[in-house]
Amino acid sequence: MVRFLLTQEVAAHDTAEVWPVYESVFGDYSDCDTWRQAVWDRHSVRDGFRLVRAYEGEALIGFVYGYTGHRGQWWTDNAQKVLGPEVAGTWLGGHFELVSIGVLASARRRAVGRSLMRVLLEDLPHDRWLLMTTADADDPARRLYASEGWHVLGPGIGDDTVIMGRRSAVTAPIE
């Protein structure tokens, strides 16, 4: 049985626990200190920060996190450049930004990622949710987002990426 833990603040032991899963899934930083200094330390103190961890027994098998996106933050400002003024004006600033979701390979295809995302987004006060993912519509993560009601808003910041958005359940769907 998988259990989920939602937290809004993290300590050093939380970072040390998340790092091996992050590294296993993404592998884009050489070590925990580099990742922590480049990304985690800034993200984990932002407004609206939320981290959800998935455990099987005592073992961490996945995580997801996000926070409130504001203008003046690197991602929001760069998303504004690629989305154009109309879409950016509607979606950016005060949105919830799903930053990273990672599930160990051994725990995939058991709805862990879907459950992590649902716990993260539950009861958010934000009416607009954003994320960036692969442009490959056949990628499992991209299919997961689409099945949960996320829609492509436009190109992403990097090559072969897109920005996806979703309205909260209490607001009108994207048309």
User: pLDDT tens for residues 82-111?
Assistant: 999 999 999 999 999 999 999 999 999 899
The radius of gyration of the chain's CA atoms, rounded to the nearest angstrom, is: 16
- Residue 125 confidence class, pLDDT cut points 50, 70, 90: very high
- Supply 35's token pair: 């990742």
Enter the pTM of the model.
0.92
Which residues lie across from 162 on neighbouring strands? Answer: 133, 155
Query: Largest alpha-carbon pair distance within the chain?
Result: 47
Residue 84 near residue 118 (C-beta atoms within 8 A): no
